[in-house]
Structure 1
Amino acid sequence: MNTSEQPPVDRAEEIARAWQREQPQLPVDSIGILTRIHHAAKLLADERRRVLARVGMDAATLDLLSTLRRSGRPYRLSTRELATRCLITPGAVTQRVDRAQQEGLVYRLAADPGTRAVPVELTPAGHHAVENAVDGLLTYEQGLIEALSPQEQQDLARLLAVLLQDLNARAHRRS
């Protein structure tokens, strides 16, 4: 390593040490986990935006198209199902569908009789676009986690699932 190059600063460790020095009674173990998750999430979101920009897609459109694609043939869901699966409001689904429809990636079908649910389906162009985007994105993102061994990847995925399940339960109790 060049002497002018410094190793990256571990901000979480730096923050925890500072709080321990300033207020030793504070519990700081969460900093080592949550600050790192927050920092990793920001870096990963930035990387995802860059990769998607290369294939001409934004994260919201990818979310919509990939949700439809994962639903299986005929790659159709109601706007209500899309809102639930994408974890967004019905208004946000409408905006996403409008934009994707203008780009020729999806189309709306007639509302189901007796309901206000409007089915949305991938067009062939949407199918091609999502396949292309997901292939490039997942291949790239797999490379981002190769610093971890396959076992470490499995362990981290399992631990994050436990943490996320508890966080979701806490959020549900508050609402």
Structure 2
Amino acid sequence: MQRERKPGPSVPETGAVPQSDAVDEIQHAWLRELPGVPVESIGVITRVWRTAKILGDERRRTLTRLGIDSATLDLLSTLRRAGPPYAMTPARLKDLCLVTAGAISQRVGRAEAAGAVRAVRSPGGRTLRVELTDAGHALIEGSVERLLRYEDDLIGHLSPAERDRLTELLRKLLDGLLERGHGDSPIGPPED
């Protein structure tokens, strides 16, 4: 059931009248309650946060149906995207998966126990290389194909031009956040 939408707080560049939603209501309420405090970020950050929550929940449910967890998906996807021979050092996997060495060790251990990867070790037991097995190859290809088809459907209400524009804006947002210290949360200077 879709509720009637009211015009939002501003007119976009296209000249079309935007529609109001619950996020606009939050923004307007804070504008009313704390005049002078900048509230424009609510329109972006709250929508990104809510979108991320919905998409994250959808991905978790989809991966559960596919029988693969997100850590294994990330590991196997990284190996598969590398191309033949579908093998990497643990250090390279760690860097590409954006996790710690310990997390990569755990991921490799679980995937190896499941038969999805093979760890090539030195005589001393140190993992030198992680290789995608035939079973891992089949698992990741089937999982990624089904996942990407489903996620393409999730954004199917956006036109190709809208997807391109959104991609560029999100890239610009992410790049700006990374340039400012990715993950740091500067609230401002401490008060004396």
TM norm structure 1? 0.89
User: Alpha-carbon deviation of 1:120?
Assistant: 0.5
What residue is the counterpart of 1:160 in the other structure?
170
Which of these residues, 82, 86, 90, is aligned with residue 79 of structure 1? 90
CA distance in structure 2 between the aligned counterparts of 1:151 and 1:84, rounded to whole angstroms: 33
CA distance in structure 2 between the aligned counterparts of 1:173 and 1:52, rounded to whole angstroms: 26
- CA 1:146 to 1:172, structure 2 compared with 1: closer, same or farther past 3 Å? closer
- Which entry has the higher C-alpha Rg, 1 or 2? 2
What residue is the counterpart of 1:43 in the other structure?
54
Q: 1:105-120 alignment to 2 at 5 Å?
A: 105-111=116-122, 118-120=128-130
User: Alpha-carbon deviation of 1:169?
Assistant: 1.1
Instruction: Note the alpha carbon deviations across 1:16-47, whole angstroms, 9 max, x for none.
Output: 11101100111111110111001100100100
Which ranges in structure 1 are unaligned for 5 or more consecutive residues?
none
- 1:58 and 2:74 aligned: no
User: Alpha-carbon deviation of 1:66?
Assistant: 0.2
- CA 1:162 to 1:57, structure 2 compared with 1: closer, same or farther past 3 Å? same
- 1:97 and 2:105 aligned: no
- CA 1:65 to 1:173, structure 2 compared with 1: closer, same or farther past 3 Å? closer
Runs ≥4 in structure 1, deviation > 4 angstroms? 5-9
User: Alpha-carbon deviation of 1:88?
Assistant: 0.5
Instruction: Note the alpha carbon deviations across 1:49-95, whole angstroms, 9 max, x for none.
Output: 11111110011110000000001101001111111001111111011
Count of residues in Structure 1 that have an aligned counterpart in Structure 2: 169
Instruction: Note the alpha carbon deviations across 1:96-126, whole angstroms, 9 max, x for none.
Output: 11111111100101249xxx66210111000
Which ranges in structure 2 are unaligned for 5 or more consecutive residues?
6-19, 185-192
TM norm structure 2? 0.82
SS at match of 1:152: helix
- 1:22 and 2:27 aligned: no
Name the stretch that deviates more: 148-157 or 12-21. Answer: 12-21
Larger RCO: Structure 1 or Structure 2 (Cα < 8 Å, ≥ 6 residues apart)? 1
Q: Does the CA-based 8 Å contact 1:80-1:117 persist in structure 2?
A: no
